[in-house]
Structure 1
Amino acid sequence: MKTILLTAFMLCFWQGIKAQSNIEMENQGETKAITEVIEDYYFKGIYEGDVRLLGKIFHPGTLLFGDVKGQPYFKTIDLYLDGVKNRQSPKDSGKPFKGEILNITIINSIAVVELNVKMYDFNYRDLLSFHKFDGKWIIVNKMLTDLSQ
């Protein structure tokens, strides 16, 4: 009887390990896809001031909330992209720019990504909410705060 119980326990334990392994492997692919969106579109688009790149990864209904220099910040994606288009890009300013992914959390078709973005004289902490639409990860919300103070 002990042998049967031990065998049943080991089979259940092994199945749990295999299921966890499959989830981790799936999330590795999704993490890679999100990382590519951030590096190839988000960071590059911000650095170069390329609203065409940024426009490809933001949902049209995206809202941006946060604070900059202690002041509340709110924009629609259209206002944000217009601001990016009409400012001097970090690339053209000659000032340092560094984007860093701090954390990616994925649950099914949603994800939250924490970033640090140093540009101009700011040190931003961004929280981006992603949703997977038609196989592509799209930013649906952006929250930011200025850590420079």
Structure 2
Amino acid sequence: MRPEPGWLAGRASRECALAKEVHAEAGVNEECDSMSDTNEVVELVQRYFDATWRGDVAQLRTVFDPRAIVAGEVNGQPYYKTIDEYLAGVASRKSPAERGEKAEMELLMLDVQHNIATAKLHVRMLGFNYYNYFSIMRQQDKWLVITKTLTNVQ
């Protein structure tokens, strides 16, 4: 099952509304100045989810900075790849969509501060139970993942 386009955007709006409510209760009058930034980062994560599920390397390339690294550990083994090495691996495998897997991807946390952001994702696919952490940076008015760290939790 393919993720619905824009399914994360509603979550970002709800988080902004909740933050405004909490700030109001604390007597702080604060708008969601970064709502546009948050929506842009949420769209980036959505593109990652969609491209990962479909195995779309060209779309994944639009998510990552060309100098990005992917690092972590999988089943106790260190994992470190350049973005080109990572994308070559994606290209050589059957995608979750091709395997008939349902989309099990969730944005767990998002923090956007000026030109940087951090996201925590939970991705279940291809027999793995990944937790991914993205370091994201706005460069020339475009948000890109500069580091993806990951682990498989059994």
TM tier relative to shorter chain: 0.7 to 0.9
Stretches of 4+ moved more than 6 A in 1? Answer: none
Could you give the per-residue CA deviations for residues 56-78 of structure 1, whole angstroms, max 9, x where no partner exists?
Answer: 11101101111111111110000
CA RMSD of aligned residues (A): 1.3
- 1:65 equivalent in structure 2: 71
Deviation of 1:96 after TM superposition, in Å, equals 3.1
**Identical aligned residues as a percent:** 36
- 2:37 equivalent in structure 1: 30
Which among 106, 112, 116 is matched to residue 106 of structure 1?
Answer: 112
Given the alignment of the two structures, is residue 96 of structure 1 paired with residue 107 of structure 2, yes or no? Answer: no
Deviation of 1:103 after TM superposition, in Å, equals 0.5
User: 1:96, 1:118 within 8 Å by CA — same for their partners in 2?
Assistant: no
Map 1:1-149; keep pairs closer than 5 Å: 17-18=28-29, 21-22=30-31, 25-39=32-46, 41-147=47-153, 149=154
Could you give the per-residue CA deviations for residues 87-144 of structure 1, whole angstroms, max 9, x where no partner exists?
Answer: 1011001223311000011121001100000101111000000000122210000000
User: 1:102, 1:115 within 8 Å by CA — same for their partners in 2?
Assistant: yes
Structure 1, unaligned runs of 5 or more: 1-15
Could you give the per-residue CA deviations for residues 7-31 of structure 1, whole angstroms, max 9, x where no partner exists?
Answer: xxxxxxxxx934xx14xx2222211
Q: How far apart are the structure 2 equivalents of 1:123 and 1:81?
A: 19
Q: How far apart are the structure 2 equivalents of 1:55 and 1:38?
A: 13
Could you give the per-residue CA deviations for residues 38-89 of structure 1, whole angstroms, max 9, x where no partner exists?
Answer: 11x2001100000110001110110111111111111000000011011101
Q: How far apart are the structure 2 equivalents of 1:53 and 1:95?
A: 20
Q: Which TM-score applies when normalising by structure 2?
A: 0.79
The size of the alignment, in residue pairs, is 128
The structure with more radius of gyration: 1
Q: How far apart are the structure 1 equivalents of 2:33 and 2:90?
A: 34
Letter in 2 for 1:30: D
Name the structure where helix makes up a greater proportion of residues: 1
